[in-house]
Each structure stands twice: as C-alpha cells, then as structure tokens.
Amino acid sequence: MLLFVLPASKPAAQRVEFKDLGRAPEIKLPLVGEKGSVKLSEMVKDGPVLVDFWATWCGPCRKAMPEYVELYQRYSGRGFRILAVSQDLPQLADKVEAYRQAQGIPFDVVIDKDKKVAREYGVSSLPTAVLIDGRRHAVAVHLGYRPGNRERLAAQIEALLGDAPQPPEDDSTTTDESMR
C-alpha cells in the first residue's frame, strides 16, 4: 500500500514570515503635482502600504521604481497602496512631478521637505522601502535595490492581502517611537 502525504501548508521556501517592527510613524504630507495631502493612517485602512524613500538623483531608486509601478498595478485592486516619499529638495518639486509623469507612476508621491519622515523611519540610505500592514505596523524593510526584490515584495504583499499568517495582533506595547 502506498501512502502519499501532502503538506498542509506552503513549503518553507514559499512561507513568508514577518517581524513586527513596531508602529509606523504617521506620515501626512502634501501630494506632488496635485492638490491635497496624504495620510498614512488613512491609507492603511484599505490594506498594506509600501512606503518607498527615494530620490530622482538616486540610480538604484530609478531601477526600483518600475518594479513598484508593476507591483502597484498588480495588487492595487486588492487594497495595496504605495506612498513614494521623495528625498529631493522641496524646490525640485517640478522635477519630481516631471519624473512621476514620465515614468507613469500611478501612486501617491510626496516630498519629505525637511527629512523629518525619513528620520522618524530611521532611513540612512536610498532606496529604503518599508512594508506596513493594515494595523500600521512595519513588518518588513527593504534596503537598497537588488534583482529579485520584486519577487520577495510580491510574496510579502500577497501574504498580507491573503489568508497567510499575519503579524501578531497585539499592539499594546508599540508606539510611534518604536520605529526609531
């Protein structure tokens, strides 16, 4: 008699595990090229948010941006959002907007004019992308650009959007300061 054992869950290579890195600091900044502003606490109500710290002069950022556009197009219909936080100087807002239009960036773009948001998130190099779950907790940080980032991010986004294991629900011990 042959007995086949099928795994009850995804193989280890496909499992996505998260670390609760603490409550993500609030972001409220004016949109580039549009009227209005964006607020992270409102964005996460729809689902996970990727906060991308980048600049127009950053070569690795320019390599990552088309991949973020593709991820946004793939998952935005399921509640995934991206907030691109430019580290360009505020007087270069027109250049940032021109880049946004030329690249067909469909998600929200803001300029961190005094770099306060980058400091609150502990950003020390570009690009830095922070994946935030629907409870406004940072669950993954991607530093720099490497081939294969898109696939790793896609697996993480799918886990947050789907029925895969989620980060712990208890947020009673975290504050905005815990990301620093």
Four-CA torsion 10, 13, 16, 18, nearest 10 degrees: 130
- pLDDT tens-place string over residues 94-133: 999 999 999 999 999 999 999 999 999 999 999 999 999 9
Mean pLDDT of 130-139: 96
For the chain, what percent of residues have pLDDT higher than 70? Answer: 81
- The pTM for the full model equals 0.82
Domain residue ranges in the chain = 28-163
Tokens 């011990």 belong to residue: 173
Residue 55 in contact with residue 88, Cβ under 8 Å?
A: yes
CATH code for 28-163?
A: 3.40.30.10
Q: How far apart are CA 100 and CA 151, in angstroms?
A: 23
pLDDT computed for residue 159 by the predictor: 95
